[in-house]
Structure 1
Amino acid sequence: PAPVTTLEVSFTFLVSVAGLFLFAQLVNAVGQLTEASDVRAVRYRHRMDEVSAYCRTMNLPLRLRRRIFTYYNSLFERMGGFQSSMEQALGDLPAFMQTEVSMNLYARFLIKVGFVKAALACDEEQTMSFIKAVVGHLNPQLVLGGDTVVCK
């Protein structure tokens, strides 16, 4: 039977709202359990909470906050997590292996630089020695569109 009196309609409405609230809580709990199983997502959420709290505490302008969050979101999407330096990730490797990892990651970019490309054509052995010396000091950074990297 359908509710007839105002009391019955009110009770039906309250029970429906309570059921909707409980269903939303259930969906949220399942989502949190699923997300908790992904360690990267947990690290991301924790880091974003820290960044958000810092931005609020320092009262950073909204435009700057958006750029910061865009950066972290892009970093997470592209790298699958937050970058760590090679020292943090592979610091216990011997130096020659760290150099090999750096060469594998960065040498192809250095070879595209004009003066390195020209030197490579003249003396490949010395240029590769130069590249080996340089790659150990490089730290990759994600740069968003519109950001100034080098300013004269």
Structure 2
Amino acid sequence: MLKKQRFAATLLVIGLTAGLAGWTTVQAADPAPPVAKPTASPPAQAADSTKKEWLLPTGEHWVKGTETEKRAYILGILNMAMIEYQLAGPRPKHRTTVVNLVKSLDGMTVPQIVELVDGYYKASPDHQQRPVVEVIWFELVVPKTKKG
């Protein structure tokens, strides 16, 4: 039992380290905006609207996103799923979608997932309002869970 706990803890540390490394890369890719002098700072309403936070990214956000932003989004979803999976195990006490997500995407790389989501939005221009996480769930995860 102790070996299982140690193994789970090691995997969690590796996952968190990989996530932090990916986050650091994303942060490094987006240079910090120049600091304005206090007297010359624009009002909050005039802030640059070209880069907005992706609250619930849809296809409109996805197709305009950089490769780094897309990979960071996928990596964030995967890291959260792996953390919960490691903490709860393959048979969690509470209802969760994480087990299906982890099993369905097992063996896929982040670039492969990005490519599949890109392909979905290119093939479905009329579904640009569909959230990215919904595309991942219903187009990548659900079909594999129905097979198994």
> TM-score per shorter chain, which class?
under 0.3
Of structures 1 and 2, the one with the larger relative CO (CA 8 A, separation 6+) is: 2
**Normalized against structure 2, the TM-score is what?**
0.26
Greater Cα radius of gyration, structure 1 or 2: 1
